Structure 1
Amino acid sequence: MAGLHKIVVGFDFGTTYSALAWASTNLPGQINLIGNWPSAGILTRHSAPTEIAYYEGGTSDFSWGYDIPRTVRRLKWFKLLLDSNDEHVQSGMPLPPGMTAMDVTRDFFSALYQHAMSTLWRQNGPEVMSMMKVDFVLTVPAVWSDTAKQRTRGAAIAAGMSNEHNLSLLSEPEAAAIYTIKNQDRNAINVYDRIVVCDAGGGTVDLISYTVLSINPLKVTECAVGTGDFCGSTYIDRNFEGLLQQRMGNHYNSLRVETQQRIVKNFEEVKCAFRDKPDQEVYHVSVPTLDTVPEAGIYSGELRLTREEMRRLFDPVIDQIMVLITSQVQSICKEGSHVNSVLLVGGFGESPATAVVKGAVMRGLEPSLPLQITTVVRRARRHYGTPMSTIFIPGQHSERDACTDPITGRRMACNQVSWFLQKGEPITDDRRITRNFCRSFKKYSGPWVDSMVACDLDRPPSRVTPDVKHVCNITADLSSVSKSCYEKKWKNWRRFYVARYHLDLTISSGDMKFELIFKGASFGRISVDFDL
């Protein structure tokens, strides 16, 4: 059978730390975390820092994870650049000249891909590996835009994760939910329970709420539209950096960049240990190269922070997360239901941060294990549609959108949007969403390019506005189709043709795919151009 002899590698690409795990179809219940990170020493760690450092101003030689020397300037938090055009975010993470966030991500992915493959060959041996197919499941934040997910996929492909491998994307909270629900104590979760899963990581916080329809096999359906934001634990680090600069003044600018990075790294240890206990009023962060700067609160090489100052670093981020959770719970209660439990996963929640990577492995194995397939009914997080022109109706359409079709001569309303998927609408991996297209032309000069747009508002506008965001261009190439297959029509004794075709869209947890159908025949996966 095709499903036998396969290894699935889960890859949790985190903002601050990343993790790898694997299991085989021969022993699906045994999920193995990949450790033995370069330069990690004898310490056994389930994740490696999502950090990379380039040498001598170049863009080819680099070190990563634990292998970066302390004296070298490192890039971190670059994951956030895949889905952010915010100038403040970009200025805080300067990239090497000529490199994009995709380039840096590709290099980091390449290092982890090679580490994963070498680990598999060493642990399983060449005889076993020569008979095994290796698939990769890469997790992405559910809160991310479709463009950011495609950037991540592109970086993974460039790193080699699709070379003789199947590569799929899975949302982080869904992976965490699958693992967490399946591994809860017996009777902790029951059929018809409603569960809010909060995946709080380093850079993003994602929330998904499920109604449990079946335990074995697991079947869940989203009972509220998922939400999320960029408000993970790295934002506490940023608050600390702001406080540090404020307190040190000119002393901060005199520090080497490597020293600044080391101070933030030292703060991370204090941050993780902070419990806001009344019996501890002072916290100490080691400040290398400095001894005493009284006006900055630095004594004997340590920056002193009061308990109240620590709380002020945490509170804005915690408050934002609590608003997200409260909003998710309220949206469920509005429908007359109640929430049975809230599951907190992810490193920020101080939970064992392996739920995402292990859930990715479990999900990737399921197609080979039919009796264990998890069914997830999701709700669309945004509206999807296509810009179009339609026959102009006075009083319904604005005069500013009026135009004339050059082929048919009809008065049309341009700049309209046909929404084919509504926010909150249920979707599954096997649901095909069909969008019909009709084009009039005198001479085929294709390929034809259609746009797909999205809107996050609860009620989308009927025409293109600033709230309607471009997602991608879809190229339909029908050059191989004979003219005789198209409809023939006449206007003022001149012949023109009408092409009617449709695009099938499938939206999975972390990805979307398109297929072009003309007169019942498939033209396969078509060209989709995201704004990368």
Structure 2
Amino acid sequence: MAGLHKIIVGLDFGTTYSALAWASTNLPGQINLIGNWPSAGILTHHSAPTEIAYHEGGTTDFSWGYDIPRTVRRLKWFKLLLESNDEHVQSGMPLPPGMTAMDVTRDFFSALYQHAMSTLWKQNGEAVMSMTRVDFVLTVPAVWSDTAKQRTREAAIAAGMLNEHNLSLLSEPEAAAIYTIKNQDRNAINVHDKIVVCDAGGGTVDLISYTVLSINPLKVTECAVGTGDFCGSTYIDRNFEKLLQQRLGSHYNTLRVETQQRIVKNFEEVKCAFRDKPDQSLYHVNVPTVDTIQEAGIYSGEFQLTREEMRGLFDPVIDQIMILISSQIQSISREGSNVNSVLLVGGFGESPYLFQRLEAWCRQWGISAISPHGAATAVVKGAVLRGLEPSLPLQVSTVVRRARRHYGTPMSTLFIPGQHGERDAYTDPITGRKMARNQVSWFLAKGEPITDDRRITKNFCRSFRKYSGPWVDSMVACDLDSPPSRVTQDVKHVCNISADLSTVRKSCYEKKWKNWRRFYVARYNLDLTISSGDMKFELIFRGASFGVSLAPFLFSVALR
């Protein structure tokens, strides 16, 4: 379908809500949010709850988003389980027996995928869709580990997003920055500005700082090591649940599960509207099926919260965010630069109280606080813009990132006395040479600037007498500032690449002799190609590709 026009679908997979948007290369300036969610009724929402409920204790049939009946126990916040193996986190989000977080995510993705595709066919018609390629850009938290990103990618593939489609990953704050800078009002961000992008979502908060080198075309470069933490708005919900249980005491356990869920859902409306106004001393959360429990502060079916209690729910979470922002700004200041503005995006980024706290803090330091229009959709719209760019070369954004880790591949090399230890020494049975195993050839250094589609090539060779099956090479990573020259416990496996050269004729290899016995030498390249959220590891022999492995790529974001 090369040459035919494309549709790019952006998917912002959030902890509490997820969003879809699309645009066509025919009308790249028109980004369409996908709504019409099942069972949402006449209400128009730019996102759907990241929730799923399996029917009758099974693991195949399920409801999702707004389509889940109120009386059914629902799974939520399962996105966090892709990152965390912590038993406490897992116990708070019990999965159906025999299912993993990847399984649940796959099912939720499949629902989003089917909804997106049916919407595109309905809105564009069969004539257009039959000649249109649809590609997906999936956003992921920058704080996530390689493992979490890989789990997300695999769940998306299992859901169908690689079936006749291209699938790419993009970090959430980068997507938000691309959209906001390209669509800013009143030139709030200018060339040479240094900006901190704070993407505050339901589960994670990501911060990445950029120096703006050009607006049109957009060119930015990271100017500090990013940071992030698990301190999104779901932690305010958890604080509310704790307060609710504390105030209700023994009454809490008499409430049905669906009632407990509904109370937390009702709190969301109060949470999203909270502005900490001095003239409002009480806030009310509807409590279904309960009339009055005076000792719990429930009167006529409403749970009362004081202004101080509301701040008590928010402040521990916002304090964590302010520490992250302060640390980010300090790291830039140590380089002799000043931050011009803090850009607040994401679903939690639309919280009036969070912006109120941020604005007051920024004012002390002469920094501008910006909450762009549609902050909650900046990520999904930025994903669409990023996906469109290869088809619109004059609008391509250049984002110079910094690698968070060292990346390389284990290898054997000629033994050099004084450089290699005897524990790694062995004699190659084919060449007879003394070799050192468990050495690492590092492709990419931690902190090294990286641009999209940069290809790094390393040369390797293998000696063999008879080809005997696929060759396997590994990609490894290291978080240390100075990586070891050999494999140690600090060198972590990322992925394997399996290359099948069974179709290559022997005449294509170098022919050599040892002790009157013939052997062959294959000289090949391992190429590392990097984009925003992906890393392609590829074996190239005589100009042809014989094996490819895609793995998530983690940029300069350190989890506190």
> Does TM-score exceed 0.5, indicating one fold?
yes
The answer as to whether partners of 1:473 and 1:529 remain within 8 angstroms in 2 is no
Q: 1:496 to 1:315 in 2, by over 3 A?
A: farther
Q: Is 1:438 aligned to residue 461 of structure 2?
A: yes
Cα distance in 2 for partners of 1:472, 1:367 equals 27
503-512 or 430-439, which moves further after superposition?
A: 430-439
**Paired position in structure 1 for 2:363:** none
What CA distance in whole angstroms lies between the structure 2 residues aligned with 1:289 and 1:472?
52
- What is the CA–CA distance in structure 1 between the aligned matches of 2:346 and 2:45, rounded to whole Å? 16
User: 3-state SS of the aligned residue for 2:30?
Assistant: coil
1:395-406 to structure 2, matched below 5 A, reads 401-405=423-427
Show the counterpart of 1:315. 315
Is residue 354 from structure 1 mapped to residue 373 from structure 2 by the alignment? Answer: no
Given that residues 73 and 258 in structure 1 are in contact (C-alpha distance below 8 angstroms), is that contact kept between their aligned partners in structure 2?
A: yes
Contact 1:179 1:359 in 2 (8 A): yes
User: Among 535, 538, 543, which residue is 1:521 paired with?
Assistant: 543
Give 1:197-208 correspondences, 5 Å limit: 197-208=197-208
The alpha-carbon deviation at position 337 of structure 1 amounts to 2.1
- Which of 406, 413, 425 aligns to 2:448? It is 425
Letter in 2 for 1:366: E
Structure-2 change in CA distance of 1:331 and 1:56 (3 Å) = same
Within-5 A mapping of 1:247-396: 247-350=247-350, 352=374, 353-390=376-413
**What is the distance in 1 between the residues matched to 2:439 and 2:298?**
61
Residue identity opposite 2:114 in structure 1: Q
Give 1:512 shift.
Answer: 1.6
Q: Can you list the C-alpha shifts for 1:221-265, whole angstroms capped at 9, x where unaligned? A: 222233322221112222333333344444434433222222221
Cα RMSD, aligned residues only? 2.7
- Tell me by how many angstroms 1:339 deviates: 1.6
User: Structure 2 counterpart of 1:481, which letter?
Assistant: V
Residue 237 of structure 2 is aligned to residue 237 of structure 1: yes
What is residue 172 of structure 2 aligned with on the other side?
172
**Contact 1:402 1:411 (C-alpha < 8 Å) held by counterparts:** no
| 1:289 match: secondary structure | coil
Question: Runs of 5+ in structure 2 lacking a partner?
Answer: 351-370, 553-560
215-224 or 433-442: which moved more? Answer: 433-442
Deviation at 1:42, TM superposition (A): 1.5
Residue 176 of structure 1 and its aligned partner are, at CA, apart by 0.8
> Could you tell me which amino acid in structure 1 is paired with residue 110 of structure 2?
S
C-alpha change, 1:186 and 1:123, in structure 2 (3 Å) is same
Q: CA deviation at 1:85?
A: 1.3
- Equivalences, count: 528
Q: What corresponds to 1:451 in structure 2?
A: 474
Using the alignment, how far apart are the partners of 1:113 and 1:328 within structure 2? 36
Residue in structure 2 matched with residue 113 of structure 1 by the alignment: 113
Q: How big is the shift at 1:468?
A: 3.1
Tell me the residue number matched to 1:91. 91
Q: Is the 8 A contact 2:428 2:435 kept in 1?
A: no
**1:3–1:367 Cα contact (<8 Å) kept:** no
Give secondary structure in 2 for the equivalent of 1:523.
Answer: strand
Write the letter of the residue equivalent to 2:548.
Answer: I
Q: CA deviation at 1:355?
A: 0.7
For residues 289 and 395 of structure 1, the distance between their equivalents in structure 2, rounded to whole angstroms, comes to: 77
Deviations 1:402-446 (A, max 9, x none): 443453666665544332211221112221012333334454333
Letter in 2 for 1:203: G
Tell me, in whole angstroms, the C-alpha distance in 2 between the residues paired with 1:111 and 1:246: 37
Where do residues 411-422 of structure 1 align in structure 2 (5 Å cutoff)? Answer: 414-422=437-445
The answer to whether the 8 A contact 1:8-1:23 is kept is yes
In 2 relative to 1, CA 254–409 (structure 1 residues): closer, same or farther, beyond 3 Å? farther
Separation in structure 2 between the aligned mates of residue 240 and residue 133 of structure 1, nearest angstrom: 45
Residues 452-482 of structure 1, C-alpha deviation per residue, up to 9 Å, x if partnerless? 2223343334444444332112223333334
Check whether the contact 1:4–1:368 (CA below 8 A) recurs between aligned residues.
no
**Identity across the alignment (%):** 87
Does 191-200 or 408-417 show the bigger shift?
Answer: 408-417
**Counterpart residue type for residue 418 of structure 1:** S
Code of the aligned partner of 2:481: D
Are the aligned partners of 1:4 and 1:26 in contact in 2 as well (CA < 8 Å)?
no
More divergent stretch after superposition (107-116 vs 172-181): 107-116
Instruction: Answer with 290-299 or 19-28: which moved more.
Output: 290-299
Which letter does structure 2 place at the counterpart of 1:176? A
Amino acid at match of 2:543: A
SS of structure 2 residue aligned to 1:192: coil
Note the C-alpha offset of 1:285: 2.8
Amino acid at match of 2:526: L
Question: Residue 10 of structure 1: CA displacement?
Answer: 1.6
Which residue of structure 2 lines up, in the alignment, with residue 480 of structure 1? 503
For the 8 Å contact 1:225–1:380, the answer to whether it is kept is no
- Partners of 2:432 and 2:393 in 1: how far apart? 56
Contact persistence 2:211–2:221 (CA under 8 A):
yes
| Cα 1:265/1:430, change in 2 over 3 Å | same
* Contact 1:11–1:360 (Cα < 8 Å) also in 2: yes
Instruction: Specify which of 515, 518, 531 is matched with residue 508 of structure 1.
Output: 531
8 Å contact kept, 1:291–1:300? yes
1:510 positional shift = 1.4
TM-score normalised by structure 2 residue count: 0.86
Alignment partner, residue 192 of structure 2: 192
Q: Check 1:326–1:146 CA distance in 2 against 1; reply closer, same or farther (3 A cut).
A: same
Aligned-partner Cα distance in 1 for 2:511–2:247: 76
Structure 1 distance, partners of 2:389, 2:550, is 28
In 2, Cα distance between the equivalents of 1:339 and 1:132? 43
Query: How far does residue 508 in structure 1 lie from its aligned partner after superposition?
Result: 1.0
Q: Given that residues 213 and 219 in structure 1 are in contact (C-alpha distance below 8 angstroms), is that contact kept between their aligned partners in structure 2?
A: yes
